[in-house]
Structures are given as structure tokens and as C-alpha cells.
Chain A
Amino acid sequence: MHIIKHIILILSLVPVASTAQNSSMDSEEINQFQEEIAQKAGSTNTIKGEFVQKKQLAFLQNEIQSSGRFFYASPDKIKWSYLQPYSYEVIFRNHKLFIDNEGEQSSIDIGNNELFGKLNQLIINSINGKMLQNKNFETTYEQNAEFVVAKLLPTDPVVLKLFREIILTFDKTTYEIHRVMLVEPAGDDTQIFFTKLKTNVPIDDSVFEF
């Protein structure tokens, strides 16, 4: 048993090769990718899809998972509908936050809150691709066979207190957002995976109202 414990310990220290090794991108590849993303962002009026959210806390062995649907309409309307494991909806619209928590509705004016305004814009721009144009981040790029991975380090001290790194993973073929990963100062992280994305489909304004 003692020997087995030693073997397990040694194996846990050996880095396991990733099945999707990332490689660097040269400046030409980066410029081309940024242009494609900017073009797509410029021509995107609506996005809808599904998401799975996974939260990893350092002191837990298990992830905390939730899932639902989201809707986005340019320039700044977004609705998150959490469907599992609880019902929770939040709509950002006209500098206001509207919440439906298991049927109980409320609203908050976020116009004067700098911190929350930044958080709201960060989420929206991560989905519509405009995040890569944000000068308040230092961005590096990597790629593998399927994805381009952009790592954004905040330079804004307000955002830095919330997140130490934001990682955006884009599908290399469609330039759609595949995953947003928010890494917090203490190392906890939240990953949001997007699926069934549909761009520029009609989304009725009533979707952004309760």
C-alpha cells in the first residue's frame, strides 16, 4: 500500500500531455484572425444559443454546474435564462438589470455603477467578439487544430480586482465563441461553454422583457 501511494504521488506530478496542444501564432496569423473576428462582430446583430456553466472552487473536489439559454441583440441587450438546476433569468437592457428569480421579479439601475457596467460589457463583448478590440487588456494568442485561444490580462485595476485573466476560445472555422473562462484573483474559475449558436436570426424584442 505504501508503494502504491508513492506511485500515485509520482504520477500526479508528471504532466499529462494534452490531447489538444496549443501552439503560438505569428503576427500575420493573429492579424488575420483579429480581422475575421472584427468583421464577424461588425456584422452580428443577434446571437442565441445554449450554455453550460462550470464553476471550480479551489476547496471543492466537484464543479458546480448550471445550464440554460442566452439571447443577445446588438448593441447591448442580453438575456441569460438559467434552466437547470434552478430557474433564474437576468436581462441587461437600457442600463438596467431585470431579474426573475424562480418567479420573483425585480430590477436594478446599473447606470451609475462603474464596476457592474464593466462586468456587463465584458460579458457581452466576450460573446460578440468585440472583446479582442478592447484596449484595457493585454492579449496573447495560441491555436490548436480546432480553436484559437485568446488570453486577456486586464490592465484596468477595477476589472483586475475581479478577474486576473479572461480566456476566450473561438472556433477556428466559424469564428464563433466556444468558451469563456474567467479566472479570479485567488485562482477559482468559471467556464461557460456555448453550443447551438445561431447568428442573426430574428429575436423578438419581447424576449428582453418579462
Chain B
Amino acid sequence: MAHAELSTEQLKRKVSIPLPTSEPGTDAAEANDLTQPRALEAIEFAMSMKGGGYNVYALGDAQTGMHERLMARLQEIASDEPAGSDLCYVANFGKPGEPVAMVLPRGVGRNVRDDVNHLLVSLTTLIPAAFSSDEFRQQIDELNSELQQRQMRDTAELNEEAKREGLAMLPTPGGFIFAPSDDDKVLDAEEFAKLDESQKRGIASAIEMMNEKLRERLQAYPSFQEELARQQRTLAETTARHVLTSLTSKLRARYNSHDEVISHLNAIGENLLDNVDKLLVLSAPAVPGQPQVPTEDLFREYQMNLIVDRSDEVRAPVVYESNPSLENLIGKLDHRLEYGVPVSDFTMIRAGALHRANGGYLVLDAERLLTKPFAWEALKRALLDGCIRIESVSQLLSMAYSVSLDPEPVPLQIKVVLLGPRRLHHLLRQYDSDYDSLFKVPADFWDKVLWDDRNEKAYCDLLLGFVAENELLPLSDGALAELIEYGGRLVQDRRHLSAYTEELCDMVREADHYARSAKSEDIGRDHVMVAASQRDSRVGRIKELVLHNIERGVTVIKTEHAAVGQVNGLSVVQLGRLVFGQPSRITATARMGRGDFIDIERESKLGGNIHSKAVLIVSNFIGYRYAKEQPLSLHASLVFEQSYGGIEGDSASIAEVCALLSAIIDTPVRQDLAITGSMDQHGFVQAIGGVNEKIEGFFEVCKSQKLTGTQGVIIPQSNQENLMLSDEVIETVEKGQFHIYTMTEVDDAIELMFGSTSEIASVERIEAQIRERLARFHELWKSAQGDDRE
């Protein structure tokens, strides 16, 4: 092979106008779906797989529009599936701390809740009314009256009997006493002492007898009262049951096919009757100064807390939770303060994203999920257990907390899609043993898509859709073409377009701004170019500084003539959004030695591993190619001049070979050319990255120093597919003022670099010179070694 000079057509892929666009009204997201078939097929596969663990990790960058595409696709899939179920929590009367979950068909939950609320309102009115009815009151009064009558009768009888015994019955703070009296006057100790012994004994005996009678009656009251209370309660129960039965009969008929609802109605009835005493309060008169228990509090525990209501949904849920905290994911328990203490009950259970997405699809950002405490663990647990448990952080940490509630877990049937970067996917695979079994399907969203007619059309549809949606100025064909070419430039590829749709849309928005500033009626190609150049300009301070230093000679870069042991290499600087090419002066020295190649970058700990590897390849290549049959008696060194940061990569390998060979044979190489390319041990050239920036970087330097017409860049032939050069470079090439050469092996570089501006060098001649010089070095080395031994 020999080197080749590229024509202008080979320097950039241009879009031909008119462009293929869809009919107006085409859904941009749908059109754009075509660009990621691998990822979307993976998603569809996962969504259609039954069984656990077929959840998806969508790998890729958010800026590729992955989220929008996923949501659109999931909505489409969900539209063919039935809506999920309603979910309520109701009180567990047997275990108040463990509310019962009730899963009901779509729409039933709201109906039941409303019906139960109506029932409770009716109970609030009708039960007090029943307890206030004359019939009920009369029966209660009869029961009460019996006790009162008995007490009054006892009081009267005991007083009379005491009087007959010559005693007075007197109340004390703690009960009663019987004391001897005379004419209604109680005897004092002195008067009592004057009585004879038989009188005293008689009085004592009478007192003892009266005490005993009083004691017997008093001790009988509690059981009498208990019986009275029991009878009152039975009466209240019977009355309440009658009201309840008449009110719930319609509900029972209506929800006959829903066992859970019937069970709940039964539970309400039983509990209500068990607590009929509380209901009696409703009919009791208000006590001034004493707070009344609000009616709604009495019936609170009979309410239904409908936490997921799908009445208005017609398809399976697709939920994106943008803030996947523990509580937002698995739900939470709200609380209210009672006497400064947080308390909760089943009415304060709130649904999480898992509840809302149950029966459908849940989309989460992996990075956000993993940065929320306990959220990832909770999600994994839900997926592994197949159910949702509402637990607070304090419960997860087994900390004591006043709000103590353990709602019944809810069965979980869900597909989860995590969106996140690739590195996170790999980290999870490596460090989380559950990950592979829970997220079995990776959906890889590439950051670029094939540049074919179909995707070119999809691109147009996307951009036109964006323009319409955001009411921007219409895009001209030229602007569309420029944007597509910009998409190619972003990925440095003539066969692919960038999938970073967000950046493209930003470009359109910015181009719209410049078009409006220029009072244009549409967005033209120029406006897109201005937007692109302004973008570069906004972050271009460092690039300008680098160029300025070269112009002033602070950084030495020669773009004319020739020099020994010195080659213009090319590197790429990336600082955030700023990416630009920068020439580097690579120099080499060579002298007789024992085969040492000194990589000064490595020795000074400024060279990376890949760079060191590349230098080793270069040294071995030289030995293998030019000193196969003799020891390589050479001492050589390599350095990137004026480089004060680290050097990494192997794209300078060809440049280093040329610099070393030039140093070995003391022959100058061209300085008006820059060269980039890596190589293998046999001297074949391999592709490098950032080819466009590298070419444009050297072009900028040449332009600033003076375009001589001979300057240019030598690149690997395999990088030709990556060329999407700026129009300025292409125009200069067209004028013959700048040249782009390709090479496939080292010899291609040698014939250009060791040649002159008018003719190429003879590879054979150069090779002979090298062999001769290396043989000479060896002779000298042997001689030097012999002298040493002598």
C-alpha cells in the first residue's frame, strides 16, 4: 500500500436535499423508536416474559432521549393490557396494628369506599336516633329505675330500722356509720359511758346488726349493676343490630360477588356491636365544659383508605417515579400528633410508586434510586418477596418509634425498568448478588444510530416534531441537513448519527434564537452553524489560550521546513464540553547503546500505561524491522516536548517511529505535516480517536502561522470513515492549501515525512540508511565493549 491524499468529498458526509420526511402529524417519538431496535426489542422481550426477574436495566445516557422512548413504548405495550386493581386498607379489628389490605377489581374500590362512607353517615344519624327513641329510652329508664328504686328503698328502710334500734345512720366521706342517738341527737362518749352495760351491749349489738345489713346490701350492688349494664348493653346491641342490618342489606346484595367486601362489612358490624357503648355516647346530652368525641372519630376505624384508585384508568399503569425515595417507592405511614406524640392508623397509609404501578410498569432512574437511603434494598426486597411491605426507615433500622403499624403486605406483579449509565449496570452486576436474578434483561441504548435513509428520516421527524411542539420557526431543508451532519460530527462517524437527541434539540432551540434575532422567517443552515460556533466559542477560552501560546512561540510548533528527530504529533484535549485538537512536538534522540529505549514520559511518571505500551511496540518494531539479525545497539529517547500534564494513548505511535528513525539516521523530516495513528508490531497502522479535532487543531495552528499550501495531516486510512470535518478545512483543502493523507502502514508515513514538499522519499533508501546506521552502531558497540574488556 501507499499513502493516499483524500479529496474533499471524502472529508465529510453531506446530506442530500430534499430530505425524506414523514407526513405532517407523525409522532416524533414513534419515528425515533426506529433508531434503537436492539434496546427496544430487549424491552419488548422482557415485558412479554412471564416469571420473576425479567426486569430491565436500560443502559445509556439520559440525553439520548432514552427515557421518553421507553415511556412511549411502555405506554404502547400497556395499552393492550388490562388496568390493574384498586387497593384499599381497612382496619384489622382483631389486630389493630396490622391493617388489612383489600385488592379489588378496577373501579370497585371507589364504589365500596363511597358506599361505606354513606353507610357510616347513615349510622351516625340513625344509631343516635334509635338510641334517642322513646321506646329505647323507656326500656333503658326502666332498667335504671329499678336500681334507683332499690337504692332509695334501701336508704329509707335502713334509716327506719336504725331509728327503731335507737340509732342514727350518718354519712361519712367514705361511707356510713350507725351511732346511738336519743331524740335525733347522737350520744357522745360521756353520755354513752353513763349507760349500763346491758344497754351498751344492746347498742353494740344493734350497730353490729345494722352494719351487717348495710354491708350485705352494699356488696350486692356491684353485681346488680353489672347485670343492669349487661341488660342495657344487650338492649343497645339489639337496637344497633336492627339499624345495621337494614342499612347493610343493600350493600351486601350489591357486593355479593366480592368476598373481601362482605367480610369487611361483617367485621364492621361485629366491631360496631362490640363497641356499642361508644355509640351510646352519641345520644348522650352534651356536657358543658367537656369536649365531645367527634362523631367522625367514632367511625374512623370503619372507613376505607383507598390508596390506589384506578376507576379512571383504562390500561395497565406505567409509572415514572422521579424521586424514588424509600417512602415514595413503597409507600408511607403519615402521622398526626396527639399530645406531642406521633400516632398513625390505617387511614394514614399512603401509596408508593410500587402500589401505583402494580399490575403494570415502573420506571426509575437507577442513580437516583441508589442514592436514596434504603430505597434499593426496599425495591429488591419487594421484587424478591413478590409483595410490597410498607416500612419506615426506623422500622428497617429496628429503632423504637411511636408510630407502630404493620400493614398487610400487598402481592406485587410488576415489571421494573431502571434507567442508568452503563458503569452502574456493571457495578451492580459485580457487587450486588441479587442484581442478575432481578434484572435479567439489559436494554442497551447506544449513543449513536446507523446513518441510513430510515434514520435520516427519523431524525428529520424528530426535529420537525420538536419544532412544532415548541412553536419554533420552521426548519429549512438546509438547516435540517446541517443538523443531521452535526449529528454525524458529534459521533465522529460517517456511518452513524448521534443519539443525543437532547443536544440536537437544544441546537434547534438556539438556532431558532439566532434566526429570530436576524428577523428570519425560518431557521436556515447559517443559523444552525452560528449556533454551533457560538457553542464552541462559549467554552473556547482554553483552546484560544493554547493557540495563542503557539502563535507567540511560547509553545514551539513548527509548521514549515524540516527538522531532525522532531515530528508534529496530535492530541485531543477534553475539558467538559470543550473538545479540541492540539499539536504536540515529539522529539527523539538516538546514539550507540545497548538497546535501551527511554520513554521520558514514563520515566518522569507522566506517561500512562497505554502510552508506555505503545512505546514498547515502537521499540520492538524498530528492532524487528531494522535489526533482525543483530543486537539493537541503540540508545534512544522519546519525549512530548512542553508537555506538563499526563500523556496517554497510543495515537502518537507512528509519529514516534518517524521521530526515532529521523534521529537514528540524522535525516530531517517534514514539519509542515502532522501525523496521528497507532500501530502494531509489524508496522501496520491502526485507527485513533478524535481525528476531526486533531486535523482541525493542526489546521488552526497552520492558519495562524501561515498556510503554505504544503501543510497537512496524515491519518490512518481506517479513520477515513470518521471524517466529518468543518467546512473551513474542506474549503481550504479544495483550494489545495491543506492536505489530508491516509496511511495503512508505517512506510506510507515514512515516504511522506522523509520526503520533500515536492516529492516523496524512497522507503527502500531510508530503510537502507537505517540498517546501515544500526550496523554501524553495533560495530561501535562491539568495539567499545572490547575496549572495556581490555
**Chain A bound to chain B:** no
Instruction: Please give the residue numbers on chain B whose beta carbons come within 8 Å of chain A beta carbons, in ascending order.
Output: none
Task: Report A's interface with B, CB cutoff 8 A.
Answer: none
